[in-house]
Amino acid sequence: MRLLYGIQGTGHGHISRAKEILPKLTEQAEVDILVSGYNCKLTLEQVEVMHKRGLSLTYNDNGGVSYLQTALNLQPLTFLKDLGTVNTNNYDLIISDYEPITAWASIQSKVPVVGLSHQASFLSKSCPRPKQISLFAESLLKYFAPVQHPIGFHFKRYDSFILPPVIRQDIRDLNPTQGNHITVYLPSYDPDFLASKLRNIEHTDWHIFSPLCNETYQTGSVTVNPVGNRPFLESLESAKGVIAGAGFELCAESMFLGKKLLAIPIKNQYEQLCNAAALEEMGVKTTHQIDEGFDKFVSRWLDEDNIVKLHETADIDRLVELVLRYASRVKTTYSRQSSSLIENSWI
């Protein structure tokens, strides 16, 4: 059996999830991997992949999504050319983790397409949304990488096709303890700005990790670190709490480890606003700005007993088994109208 696995390279969540699924998948099938996204930061080490430019969101200096700059960075001719390089008929199944080239290349194909992504969960109206619904952002979530059969991942099973989060093995291997520091990952903010807001809060140390930092330095009770997997994991393991954006993976990992969590969604990033709405429903503290009263807000958060734990995670072995069984079932009898992946017995 031969599969094509498309992975959105922007952000760390898609590739982190693929690193957990691919070893199980490649044990039973031949898998070609396509990674796209011109803001791609992470890689799949020692794995051969096809790299395409694809589509990515662009952020402004204030940490918000710039839809204008995103539009200006689009190269539609390059995207169409990349579509033409993908021969979907060579495969028995296509998997897209919010990757647009594999998703759109399969539109006219008879090969079934499965979406495995957090974004796929938003195809359900049961998933929490912010008070201000964005029709443009809703359309983007639906059509950026369209798939026939979505399997979404979210904090809870909001619908029949939604699974709990995939937690990477690096997190599962940690032995969480409660130290005296808070781990901070807000990559859209300047680390010096964050340090100025946090260093005056008494009786707490702060570990800030920032892509804008090249070497570790300290200012008062604040240590600013470059982004690095092992140092970050060590800080997270012994943290008494986490301040992060409302990105799906880190929030899920923090709750899995039983860490107190404060989520600050990226401005104009609709997916994170949806995540923040879900976290608020679960009892996680959120805020949408870092203003003059931020230090007092954080101090109150530190004094609260509001640890929300993640009680369920995805079973990767079961997920891979079901996807491969589906691919085998429809290999010779596939019909877009009659074949359905989303069945209660699956999820």
Q: Per-residue pLDDT tens for 264-319?
A: 998 888 999 999 999 999 999 999 999 999 999 999 999 998 899 998 999 999 99
Residues 155 and 206 in one domain: no
Residue 116 lies in a domain: yes
Residues 157 and 34 in one domain: yes
Residue 342 lies in a domain: no
By residue range, what is the domain housing residue 157? Answer: 2-166+314-330
Residues 196 and 152 in one domain: no
Pairing verdict, β 260-263 and 205-210: unpaired
Residue 338 lies in a domain: no
Output the pLDDT for position 325: 83
Residue 61 has pLDDT above 80, yes or no: no
pTM (2 d.p.): 0.89
136: exposed, middle or buried (Cβ count in 10 Å: 0-12, 13-18, 19+): exposed
Kindly report the CATH number assigned to the domain that includes residue 90: 3.40.50.2000
Count: domains in the chain: 2
Element (H, E) at 306: none
Residue 336 has pLDDT above 60, yes or no: no
Residue 205 lies in a domain: yes
Residues 260 and 320 in one domain: no
Residues 285 and 319 in one domain: no
Residues 184 and 261 in one domain: yes
What backbone phi and psi angles, to 5 degrees, belong to 123? Answer: -70, -10
Residue 345 lies in a domain: no
Would you say 190 and 208 are in contact if contact means Cβ atoms under 8 Å apart?
no
pLDDT digits (tens, 9 = 90+) for 153-169: 999 999 999 999 999 99
